[in-house]
Amino acid sequence: MPVTNYLERNANKYGDEVALVELNPEQADTRRISWKEYDLIEPNRFEPYRREITWRVFNEKANRFANLLIERGIKKGDKVAIIMYNCLEWLPIYFGVLKCGAIAVPFNFRYDAEEILYCAELAEVDIIVFGPEFIGRIEQNAERLSKGRLLIYVGDNCPGFSESYRELVADMPSHNPDVFLSEDDYGAIYFSSGTTGFPKAILHKHQSLTQAAEMEQKHHMTGRDDCFLCIPPLYHTGAKFHWMGSLVAGSRAVLLKGAKPDIILSAISSEHCTIVWLLVPWAQDILDSIENGSVDLKDYKLDQWRLMHIGAQPVPPSLIKRWKQYFPEHDYDTNYGLSESTGPGCVHLGIENVHKVGAIGVPGYRWETRIVGENGECVKKGDVGELCVKGPGVMTCYYNNPEATAEVLKDGWLFTGDMAMEDPDGFIFLVDRKKDVIVSGGENIYPVQIENFIRKFDKVKDVAVIGMPDQRLGEKTAAVIEIKDGIECTKEEIDEFCLGLPRYKRPKEIFFEDIPRNATGKIEKPKLRKLHGADRLVARENRS
């Protein structure tokens, strides 16, 4: 069934219960309030800071937007782009697009004006819905963007080149639109992260969306009493489909604006959150804040917090070992996935397998995996090859790009571009991105292995290992290291620590600087290669 059926079910069964809460600490009263006093403060005091909607209102808002789209001539197969920061309007607009039979096209909120135009034209979008933070970027190309397209603005003070969302939906009927949907209808286009050039448009059917939602609920056993804290951007498949576990369960979720340790812990405490998905940098920041004394766990109510899970990038085992020292009762899960596989979960560790921390896990619910060599043959356990996945969440294609589709989709198998190995127990370990493998003196070197080792050094906050051209070896390893705040560290200390690595894996160059990560926490290695003059490797990556 289409995933919209779950929203309609929740509206009928749990209509008066809260579905979504939006927290925006930047809009809170400037006077510092103890979170223990939160429930004693008059409700309207935090109105700009905290908003909520019930399942019934959520569904009605989605219906109003769907009926507006239908009135404006939008039909099955048309595309509606969404570029907004996380807010209470985001998901009702997304579901309104789905309910009218159109294809939802979330845009990365980091896109500049040219990327917005490029993606709008690539995906052939008919409508662009945007928030106040994007007025300038939309305005730069408003004339071209508005040709044959409707621009809808969500917020106060609507700019003259667009129409107001609030005014448009105010008089729209709130009943379900008369549109039949099936799992074979197209539902969404997501974009690749675009770290090696302009992004590709990834087309999914409703089957993919429903699979992702049901898998998330099953993997993390999300129940009616759970409350999910969502911090990452909703344009990303990870955030949205982790939230959809709450949709399937009919339970509450909180959209939090802000990722500082005290903000995260305060939200968990005040909203009684039980499930939290973190990116690696946020988990590191929480641990660092506990250890440097800027956060005291006794100030928060955290007993109800049962599960912390991480995805979107390789997770250092040392990080989880540190986490369990402070949160020994927490269940933990690692989630692996791609936008081409409808986000996280095609491989996952499983909360029962914490003893295998370091692995990305086993095939997820209704998924198959295999690891293949250069000629497509399955490699034996313990050998490194390319990870391939197959299941009901695999994309249909790269929209309008049959050549790129043919490169990664073969007989129903999605070739992920990630190098992996399977241990004797059937657990998959991610070795590195295929394009990130360093070939030095004829040896394959996998940066993730070196990164995991260096992160064990207690002065290191973050690290990225890249390949740089070398006249004798072909390539040499370079470590870009971010040191913990307030700590001093020398190259000699790093060199001495790295004596624990085999000689050929030891970094030949060391740079101390901040590690750039994108909105979903992935290290932006192309930026580092360009910064450090690894032009040949950038060219190789673009060719592959």
Q: Which two tokens stand for residue 73?
A: 């001539």
**All domains in the chain, ordered by first residue:** 4-299 (3.40.50.12780), 307-433 (2.30.38.10), 437-543 (3.30.300.30)
Q: What is the DSSP-derived secondary structure letter of residue 403?
A: H
Per-residue pLDDT of the chain (544 residues; tens, 9 = 90+): 999 999 999 999 999 999 999 999 866 543 333 333 433 333 333 344 899 999 999 999 999 999 999 999 999 999 999 999 999 999 999 999 999 999 999 998 888 898 899 999 999 999 999 999 999 999 999 999 998 899 999 999 999 999 999 999 999 999 999 999 999 999 999 998 644 456 899 999 999 999 999 999 999 999 999 999 999 999 988 899 999 999 999 999 999 998 899 999 999 999 999 999 998 888 989 999 999 999 999 999 999 999 999 876 667 788 899 999 999 999 999 999 999 999 899 999 999 998 898 899 999 999 999 999 988 899 999 999 999 999 999 999 999 999 999 999 999 999 998 889 999 999 999 886 667 778 776 667 878 889 989 989 999 999 999 888 876 667 889 999 999 988 999 999 999 999 988 888 899 999 999 988 876 667 888 788 888 865 444 333 332 2
CA distance 235 to 189: 10
Write the CA distances from 185 to 103, 115, 209, 212, 366, integer angstroms: 9, 27, 11, 16, 20
Q: Which two tokens stand for residue 5?
A: 């059926």
Write the CA distances from 353 to 194, 241, 361, 426, integer angstroms: 33, 22, 8, 12
CB-based contact 333:325 (threshold 8 Å): no
188 phi and psi, to 5 degrees? -155, 150
Question: Which H helix or E strand runs over 372?
Answer: strand 368-372
Provide the pLDDT for residue 534: 59
Q: Reduced to 3 states, what is the DSSP secondary structure of residue 201?
A: strand
Distance of CA 453 to the CA centre of its chain: 25
Residue with tokens 């995933």: 3
CA distance 449 to 220: 28
Query: Which amino acid does the sequence have at 183?
Result: E
CB-based contact 228:245 (threshold 8 Å): yes
Provide the pLDDT for residue 406: 96
Write the CA distances from 411 to 215, 402, 544, integer angstroms: 23, 15, 21
Question: Which H helix or E strand runs over 415?
Answer: strand 413-422
Write the CA distances from 45 to 29, 50, 87, 378, integer angstroms: 8, 9, 19, 61
Nearest in space to 392 (alpha carbons), one of 370, 416, 366, 410: 366
| Inter-axis angle of helices 317-326 and 280-292, nearest 10 | 50
CB-based contact 222:216 (threshold 8 Å): yes
- Close Cβ partners of 495 (under 8 Å, ≥ 6 residues apart): 506, 510
